[in-house]
Every structure is written in structure tokens, then in C-alpha cells.
Amino acid sequence: MYRTRMEKGKIKNIQKTKAFQGVPVKQEHIREAFEFSYSMAFGDGFHRNKRSGGIHHRSAYEVFVNTFRGKIAEFVVSDFFTSQGREVSQIDLSIMGVGDWDSADLLVDEIPISIKATKHFGQLLLLETKDWNDSGQYIPNLSHEKQSNYDYFILVRTKVDIPDKNNSLFSKEKLKKIIFEKHILAEISGVLSNCDFVNQIIKYKYIIYQNDLLNGKIPMDADNYYVHVAELESIELI
């Protein structure tokens, strides 16, 4: 499948768009994702505070928001495959310290899948270049005897109407109240196979570079491989 490139130069404009068609996320998933994300951001867990190759240091609150969005995505994908009668691994909700992380986001019929999450208006699947070698293996896992080969990447867009950045110190109960007052929506936006990732995206350097301006205004924090959401495959591919 041919995939559209953005133009050369520092300004990178989205070439194709896809409308968001989210559905409500189950309250039980919101509750579990909240508890996990709060512990990872403000408790005993560990999430890196900047992207691979990035320069922006995330606050604990930003870590919470990103982790929450990602865990919601895992629940949504798990529900989809479970409803199809597929064998799906259990979502990992254990609180991990420095140097510990799960091997794969999900195993579906023993197929390792990496799940990525972005905002509901996002139009790109982004994969940080420093995380992946030319064979499409996840570099941070290579030295830890963890899953480094993923057969597929699944992108989930989520509508979570809470501030991404906030300098005020929310108590846990206040933050929980804010979360549960919102209508959180999610959409399984599409799939990229590892084969296409290696033979097209990596090989032909579909890269948006650090400090490039996305749509002329959003500076990129790190080098990323990219695919337009509109050009991802259907989840039925898996």
C-alpha cells in the first residue's frame, strides 16, 4: 500500500485526514485505568519523563494523562478482540518500578501487538525513531529479554477532555471527580503491520524530525516515523 509523504522542509502539513468516530468507554475501564495511571504517575510506579530522543521533561500530571490515555486504548482493543472470540492476554495493571515493564501491550492468539494512543484529533501514528532498529525491533526490550518483535501496531484515538498540562496540584479525589464527569470516547483508528513498518516506513524514511513544525505550529519533541491515520489498515487485518 502506498503511503503519503509530507513535504520536505521544517514545516510538515498533514496531507490526509480521517474524522474521529469514538464510542463511550466502559466505566469499569475508566476506573481501572485511573487507578493504574495515578499510581504510575504519583505513586510507586515509573514512567520515563521524556520521549526517546526528546528534550521535553514531562510533569507527573502529564505522565498521568498520557498513561491514562494509553491504558484506555489497551482496554478498548482487548474488548474488540474478546468480542470476536479471540484469545487475548490479560491487561497488565501491575505497578512497575525503574527497569521493569511489560513485554507486549497485548497478545491476541499469541500474536504480539503494540498499542499506541493519541488524541481524538490526531492524524498521525508516530513511532519514535530511537526506539526501533532497522529490523523493526523495539530497542529498549532487546537487552532485557522482553518482547522486542511486534507483528502489528494498533492506533487508538481517545477523547479525554481534561487539560494535558496543569500546574495546579490535584488531589487524587479531585482528579478522579474531574475524570468521571467527562464523557470519554475512543476509536480503534487502524493498524500498521510490522512488515510495512520495516519495508516501507523505515526503509524509505518516513520521518518527521525534532523541531519540525507540524501544520506549521506544533514543534516536534523528537524524531518520529509517521503514517497518516487515514492510510492505516482496518483492524480486520489481524
Helix H, strand E, coil C: the string for 150-174 is: CCEEEEEEEECCCCCCCCCCCCHHH
CB 62 within 8 A of CB 7: no
Tell me the whole-structure pTM to 2 decimals.
0.89
Q: Residue 14 has what DSSP assignment?
A: -
Nearest-CA neighbor of 70 among 33, 26, 31, 125? 33
CB 29 within 8 A of CB 75: yes
pLDDT of 192 > 60? The answer is yes
Q: Residue 143 has what DSSP assignment?
A: T
Report which secondary-structure segment, H or E, holds 11.
Answer: strand 11-12
pLDDT of 54 > 70? The answer is no
Nearest-CA neighbor of 17 among 7, 29, 8, 4? 4
CB 189 within 8 A of CB 232: yes
> In Å, how far are 102, 114, 136 from 148, measured between CA atoms?
11, 10, 9
What local confidence, expressed as pLDDT, does residue 213 receive? 96
Burial class for 77, CB neighbours closer than 10 Å (0-12, 13-18, 19+)? buried
Q: Which stretches of the chain are DSSP H helices?
A: 27-42, 60-83, 139-142, 172-180, 194-196
Q: Which amino acid is at 35?
A: E
What local confidence, expressed as pLDDT, does residue 102 receive? 46
Q: Which three cell numbers stand for residue 143?
A: 537487552
Name the pLDDT band for 171 (thresholds 50, 70, 90). confident
Q: Report d(CA 62, CA 71) in Å as an integer.
A: 14
pLDDT of 50 > 70? The answer is no
pLDDT of 49 > 50? The answer is no
What local confidence, expressed as pLDDT, does residue 114 receive? 95
Q: Report d(CA 11, CA 4) in Å as an integer.
A: 16
| 81-104 pLDDT per residue, tens | 999 999 999 998 886 654 444 446
